[in-house]
Structure 1
Amino acid sequence: MIVGYARTSTLDQEAGFEAQVRDLTALGCERIFKEQVSSVGKRTELDAAVDFCREGDTLVVTKLDRLARSVTHLGKIIETLEAKGVAMRIVNLGVDTTTPTGKLMLNVLGGVAQFEREMMLERQREGIKSAKDAGKYKGRKPTAQAKADEIKALKAEGLSMAKIASKLGIGVGSVHRALNPAKQA
Structure 2
Amino acid sequence: MNHVYGYARVSSTDQDLSIQEAALKAAGATIIRSEKKSGTTTEGRTELATLIEFARAGDCVVITRIDRLARSIADLANIVRTLEKKGVHLKATEQPIDTSTPAGRAFLQMLGVFAEFETAIRKERQLEGIAKAKAEGVYKGRKASIDADRIQQLVAAGKGATEIAKELGIGRASVYRYLK
Q: TM-score, normalised by structure 1?
A: 0.58
Deviation at residue 26 of structure 1 after TM alignment? 1.3
Tell me the distance in 2 between the aligned counterparts of 1:98 and 1:76. 17
Number of the residue aligned with 1:27:
27
Number of residue pairs the alignment of both structures matches: 117
Number of the residue aligned with 1:13:
15
Per the alignment, do residues 67 and 111 of structure 1 end up closer, same or farther by CA in structure 2, a change over 3 Å counting? farther
Number of the residue aligned with 2:101:
99
Tell me the distance in 2 between the aligned counterparts of 1:94 and 1:61. 12
Number of the residue aligned with 2:84:
82
Number of the residue aligned with 2:132:
none
Deviation at residue 94 of structure 1 after TM alignment? 2.0
Number of the residue aligned with 1:154:
none
The Cα RMSD (Å) is 2.1
**Structure 1 residue runs without a partner (length 5+):** 123-185
2:31 corresponds to which letter in structure 1?
A: R
**Structure 2 residue runs without a partner (length 5+):** 126-180
Show the 5 A alignment for 1:134-145.
none
Q: Larger helix proportion, structure 1 or 2? A: 1
Per the alignment, do residues 32 and 113 of structure 1 end up closer, same or farther by CA in structure 2, a change over 3 Å counting? farther
1:34 corresponds to which letter in structure 2?
A: S
Residue aligned with 1:95, SS: coil
CA contact (8 A) 2:83 2:89 kept: yes
Tell me the distance in 2 between the aligned counterparts of 1:93 and 1:110. 14
CA contact (8 A) 1:71 1:111 kept: no
Number of the residue aligned with 2:57:
55
Deviation at residue 110 of structure 1 after TM alignment? 3.9
Number of the residue aligned with 2:69:
67
- Share of identical aligned residues, percent? 40
CA contact (8 A) 2:96 2:107 kept: no
Comparing 58-67 with 98-107, which one deviates more in the overlay? Answer: 98-107
